[in-house]
Amino acid sequence: QVQLVESGGGLVQAGGSLRLSCAASGRTFSSYAMGWFRRAPGKEREFVAAISSGGDSTYYADSVKGRFTISRDNAENTVYLQMNSLKPEDTAVYYCAAKSGNYNYKVAIGYNSWGHGTQVTVSS
């Protein structure tokens, strides 16, 4: 397993941007597919975006497609989530997660390791 630490959250006005980072420990980061999930107050955790272990494939929830971009730097053991055109409904705690295997990216239960989350608040 890898240990994950998110950063980059904060308070931003609607229409603004934030870039989340997730730093991973361990020497096998490049073997894991990575995902971002979020949980808004009073709601279930939901899939946001994922990227394959090699970085050649990306997947997005319909609600963020065209606004968010996931990327990774395997040399730096880091995955990023660039969030543009933020909306108040994007307010949530954002979690990064790692999984073995490049499949079922949208299913949270398949992820082996989770970070503690970073708060993103978008004001209207």
pLDDT of residue 53: 95
Distance of CA 12 to the CA centre of its chain: 18
pLDDT at 101: 82
Predicted pLDDT at 31 = 93
Mean pLDDT by groups of 10 residues along the chain of 124 residues: 95 98 91 97 96 96 98 96 98 97 88 96 97
Which of 2, 52, 53, 51 shows the shortest CA–CA distance to 30? 53
Query: Residue 94 is encoded by which pair of tokens?
Result: 């954002």
Q: How many CB atoms lie within 10 A of CB 94?
A: 23
State pLDDT tens for residues 39-58.
999 999 999 999 999 999 99
β-strand partners of 60:
49
Q: What is the pLDDT of residue 48?
A: 98
Q: State the pLDDT at residue 102.
A: 82
According to the model, what pLDDT value does residue 54 have?
A: 93
Closest CA to 48 of 1, 5, 95: 95
> Which residues fall within 8 angstroms of residue 121, CB to CB, at 6 or more apart?
10, 11, 12, 91
Which residues on adjacent β-strands are paired with residue 58?
A: 51
Question: 108, 47 in Cβ contact below 8 A?
Answer: yes
